[in-house]
Amino acid sequence: MKTRRSDRLVDMTNYLLTQPRKLVSLTQFAKRYDSAKSSISEDLSILKRTFQERGIGLLETLPGAAGGARFIPYMLPEEAQTFINELVDEVNDETRVLPGGYVFLSDLLGRPEILKRVGRLLATQYINEDIDAVMTAATKGVPVAQAVAQELNVPFVIVRNDSKITEGPTMSVNYLTGSSKRVEKMELSRRSLPTGSRVLVVDDFMKAGGTIKGMMSLVGEFEGTVVGAAVFAEGRVSERVVAKYTSLIHVDTLSSDGTGITVTPGNYETEVYENNNLND
């Protein structure tokens, strides 16, 4: 059944948005709507323009009869700034400070409308990178990993400290926790990650960066490549064991009495938008 343009526009928008980074060919669309490729091409120009004007993301179109379109999640710098400022305001709250200078963030990392934007923001940074998988550490890194994996449309894998009997054979590494200098062990199910994968490492919170560094060495054990490291929040430390990373917010607490808190934007905007470091 031939479809009307208006119906095609609605369905194509859903179809492309729910399959980020995947190329959909003109042929597929022409079949789906029983319409001429020339009409589909016109539809795609409308989508492209609206996606751009409304800050939804980029629609990459490949010309010609063998061409097609691919939706690439991308957040404009203005929206990113507004979002990061919102996060700063929400976290900048003395009641979030826990004994030892820890900060309560679990509520934010359980809210879909925040996670969706975290995912879009981190996907923006790696817009020009091939990524095969996202890696994180259990438990609180999982929501961040799932959010960005969804926008990149790749699987995510969960590294654990405790060996679970439901994971099968695992690969493990020892790592030094950056802050307390204890030696710990982290492991990942062998079956989770194909060898040679290009991996983005993410976590909810980074202090010295021991966990991130541990995950990076685990990627090495799987003969993979670390594409980058990104965290939701970073804390203040005297020395960091990870050189290159991005953070959305920076949280500073007075760990001695556990009351004061100072929250500022992390290095994301500087690293990504200002230095035009979109990894291209």
Residue recorded with tokens 């060919």: 25
262 binds a second copy (CB under 8 A): no
Q: What is the largest CA-CA distance in the chain?
A: 70
47 binds a second copy (CB under 8 A): yes
5 binds a second copy (CB under 8 A): yes
Binding mask 183-222 for a second copy (x = CB under 8 A): ------x-xx------------x-----------------
Cα–Cα distances in Å, from 162 out to 167, 205, 216? 11, 19, 18
Find the binder of a second copy among 38, 82, 85, 106 (CB under 8 A).
106
278 binds a second copy (CB under 8 A): no
Beta-carbon count within 10 A of 89 CB = 10
> Which range touches a second copy (CB under 8 A), out of 60-68, 161-169, 249-257, 269-277?
161-169
Beta-carbon count within 10 A of 125 CB = 23
Q: Are 266 and 247 in contact (CB under 8 A)?
A: yes
Find the binder of a second copy among 23, 93, 111, 237 (CB under 8 A).
111
56 binds a second copy (CB under 8 A): yes
Element (H, E) at 243: none
70 binds a second copy (CB under 8 A): no
Element (H, E) at 91: helix 77-91
CB of 243 to a second copy, least distance (A): 25
247 binds a second copy (CB under 8 A): no
Binding mask 218-237 for a second copy (x = CB under 8 A): --------------------
Element (H, E) at 29: helix 26-33
Find the binder of a second copy among 107, 223, 257, 274 (CB under 8 A).
107
Residues with Cβ within 8 Å of residue 106, at least 6 apart in sequence: 140
Find the binder of a second copy among 29, 72, 73, 143 (CB under 8 A).
143
CB of 180 to a second copy, least distance (A): 12
- In degrees, to the nearest 5, what angle opens at C-alpha 121 toward C-alphas 131 and 153? 35
Q: Are 73 and 125 in contact (CB under 8 A)?
A: no
> Which range touches a second copy (CB under 8 A), out of 97-105, 123-131, 219-227, 271-279?
97-105
CB of 271 to a second copy, least distance (A): 25
- Helix, strand, or coil here: 55? coil
155 binds a second copy (CB under 8 A): yes
Q: Where are the beta strands (DSSP E) in the chain?
A: 24-25, 57-62, 68-73, 133-137, 156-159, 170-176, 183-189, 198-206, 225-235, 246-253, 261-265
Chain positions contacting a second copy, by CB under 8 A: 5-7, 9-11, 13-14, 17-19, 46-47, 49-51, 53-54, 56, 98-100, 102-107, 110-113, 115-116, 138-140, 142-143, 146-147, 149-150, 153-158, 160, 165-168, 189, 191-192, 205
